[in-house]
Structure 1
Amino acid sequence: MDVLTLTTNADAPFMNEQMAALERRGVTFDTLSVAGEVGDGTGRTPIDYLRFFPDVLREAGDGNDYDLIHAHYGLVAPMALAQLRTPVVLSLWGSDIHGPVEPVSKACAPFCEEVVVMSEEMRRVLGQDCEVIPDGVDLEKFAPQDQRAAREAVGWDHDAHHVLFPYSPDRDVKNYPRAKRIVTVVDNLLERPVRLQTISGVDHETVADYMNAADSLLLTSHSEGSPNSVKEAMACNLPVVAVDVGDVRERLAGVDPSTVATSDEELVKGLIEVLQRGERSNGREAAREVSIEQTADEMLAVYERAVGGERSTSRTRTEPRTQTPSPSP
């Protein structure tokens, strides 16, 4: 199967790991990414997205015999649907359902052959029939290590509690101010120093070192789909203290020690408990449910349904997919 991938971020580790796993199953990929500079505090302009239309139409035609177009993120769905020949799978990442991109995602989703979301919550918000497939975690890359060795590798001292916030403080959706506030309170309540460690821009291969060096992962995001950091922490048996967003509660069911909180007080209490216990979690066993190999098999089944066995050479989309009412909360 030959697939054209459309994305806003060609460097997204979870997307590339998924593609690598699918390549091991015989799928081949070409990737187009929206041009333009993106960084903390900067983003692409509408002109960047408009310029992406002819790029997609040219690549989707031009004698290229793709079986499928996989649009990663709601903002590239209009470009995928602009061509009428090739089936489209749309993967929604979370912020394209919880935020200003939501209207674009909801408008385009009914016209795609298959839609993939990361959590049941996202399916409820989208309000249409779709497949729930969380991003998978590489259990070989993310595995338990000796904590002392990991701390030496990342340069952390051994005399403090280290709480990992694996994002840039500048990413508003991750809510760094709340994480800092929680850790400050906990630091004042415990005798041993508590340090909030932020990481961003590091090679994904080294993130496991930070997971194994930390005593807890702290997630305070305003919204999430299926946060990879939680699943990666689970795979390293790192306890997680998190707000109740996305599929966090589902993923952490039965994982101990870990806490899913709905208030600052619960976050403080949960973090104190984790740090005082000083134990690793049993998260790795639960993480097997979302291994990259498991989720790649599920995505391959989605691809096969979208293609439907036979390639259409003159496809038109005059009717949207059948929508089903969203279930009651």
Structure 2
Amino acid sequence: MRVLNLVTNADSRFFNQQVEVLEKRGVEQTTVALPTPFEEGDGRRSVVDYLRLLPPTLRHSMGDYDLLHANSGLTAPAAVLQQGLPTVVSLWGTDLMGRYGPITERFSRRCDAVIVMSEEMAVRYGTDCHVIPHGVDLERFTPADREAALDLLGWSPDRRHVLFPYPKERTVKDYPRAERIVEAASRQVDAPVEIHTVTGVPHSSMPTYMNAADVLLLTSVREGSPNSVKEAMACNLPVVSTAVGDVSERLDGVSLSVASDDDATLAAGLVEALETRRRSDGRERAYEVSTTRMTDQLLDVYRDVADK
């Protein structure tokens, strides 16, 4: 099978993981990325910027492909304006629930198949779609020795470490709220507490951060199916998160992990994780969203669309 990918950010870690896994399964892929460079932060791209994806899409759509996969609803307009290839669109979260949501909805409904990341998004979308979250690589993200991880990063073993693996500038991640929650929790923990923002490091290095940290904190305003939560689960790292996307479903029954929209509850979850310093049992639940299982489902959608 040959697939033409459209993507807003060619450096997206979960997109590149998807490409890598599909290539191992024999899928040949070409990627066309939005010409405007991606910058951290919100609101940096305009509608005109997204329209610049159309000319290269039209050129590549004349090639020998079985289908076009629009990764992010913001690439859906370019996907449907070419008429030579059947189209699959994956909605990632902010594209559907952010300021360009109406555009995403309008054009994604003209695609042959729609994929969303969570049941919440499926309800929001409102018509037939496939719920296939991005998978987690259980071979890469696996529990490892914490002391060795702390030593590699130069983090003090006498401190408590909260991992916030996002840039402070992305308003949808709400770093100020994370700071407030950490500050509230630190007053109840009998040890210094540090919050670590981690961005721009190789994806292969993230398991080290996951295994060194005491807890992962996510305070996003909205999400689809955040990979950082699933990757933390795979490393048995406790997770404290706002109840966005599919987080509540993923953390249901996982020890030392909390999904809530109440700051006091989130702070209490941090305190428990930071005081006990135990690992969670999240890896057992992470098998539900392994790259193997998610890729099987994605390939089923590809075959169905290509056959039609």
TM-score, normalised to structure 1, is 0.91
Question: 1:37 touches 1:44 (CA, 8 Å); kept in 2?
Answer: no
Deviation at 1:38, TM superposition (A): 2.3
Deviation at 1:13, TM superposition (A): 1.3
Note the residue ranges of structure 1 that are not aligned, 5 or more in a row. 310-329
Deviation at 1:44, TM superposition (A): 2.9
Partner of 1:11: 11
Question: Is 1:57 aligned to 2:29, yes or no?
Answer: no
Question: Is 1:149 aligned to 2:148, yes or no?
Answer: yes
Q: Secondary structure at the match of 1:129?
A: coil
Partner of 1:184: 183
Deviations 1:128-153 (A, max 9, x none): 11000010001111111100100111
Alignment of 1:139-218 (within 5 A): 139-218=138-217
Deviations 1:179-231 (A, max 9, x none): 10011111112221111111111111101100000000011100000000000
Deviations 1:77-101 (A, max 9, x none): 0111111121000000100111111
Distance in 2 of aligned mates of 1:38 and 1:85: 28
Partner of 2:269: 270
Q: Secondary structure at the match of 1:97?
A: helix
Deviations 1:90-113 (A, max 9, x none): 000100111111001110122111
Alignment of 1:307-326 (within 5 A): 307-308=306-307
Q: Secondary structure at the match of 1:3?
A: strand
Q: Secondary structure at the match of 2:187?
A: helix
Distance in 2 of aligned mates of 1:202 and 1:20: 18
Distance in 1 of aligned mates of 2:135 and 2:232: 13
Question: Is 1:102 aligned to 2:105, yes or no?
Answer: no
What fraction of aligned residue pairs are identical, expressed as a percent?
Answer: 50
Alignment of 1:81-96 (within 5 A): 81-96=80-95
Alignment of 1:247-326 (within 5 A): 247-308=246-307
Question: 2:4 touches 2:29 (CA, 8 Å); kept in 1?
Answer: yes
Per chain length, whose mean CA-contact separation is higher, i.e. which structure has more relative contact order (CA < 8 Å, sep 6+)?
Answer: 1
Question: 1:179 touches 1:218 (CA, 8 Å); kept in 2?
Answer: yes
Distance in 2 of aligned mates of 1:79 and 1:273: 48
Distance in 2 of aligned mates of 1:99 and 1:87: 26
Note the residue ranges of structure 2 that are not aligned, 5 or more in a row. none
In our comparison, the structure showing a higher alpha carbon Rg is 1
Deviations 1:150-176 (A, max 9, x none): 011111111111010111111100010
TM-score, normalised to structure 2, is 0.97
Distance in 2 of aligned mates of 1:52 and 1:242: 34
Amino acid at match of 1:9: N
What's the Cα RMSD here? Answer: 1.1
Q: Secondary structure at the match of 1:281?
A: coil
Deviations 1:50-79 (A, max 9, x none): 232111111101xx1111000011111011
Alignment of 1:219-258 (within 5 A): 219-258=218-257
Distance in 2 of aligned mates of 1:99 and 1:52: 20
Distance in 2 of aligned mates of 1:278 and 1:191: 12
Partner of 1:26: 26
Distance in 2 of aligned mates of 1:244 and 1:40: 23
Partner of 1:77: 76
Q: Secondary structure at the match of 2:96?
A: coil
Amino acid at match of 1:289: E
- The count of corresponding residues between Structure 1 and Structure 2 is 307
Question: 2:8 touches 2:72 (CA, 8 Å); kept in 1?
Answer: yes
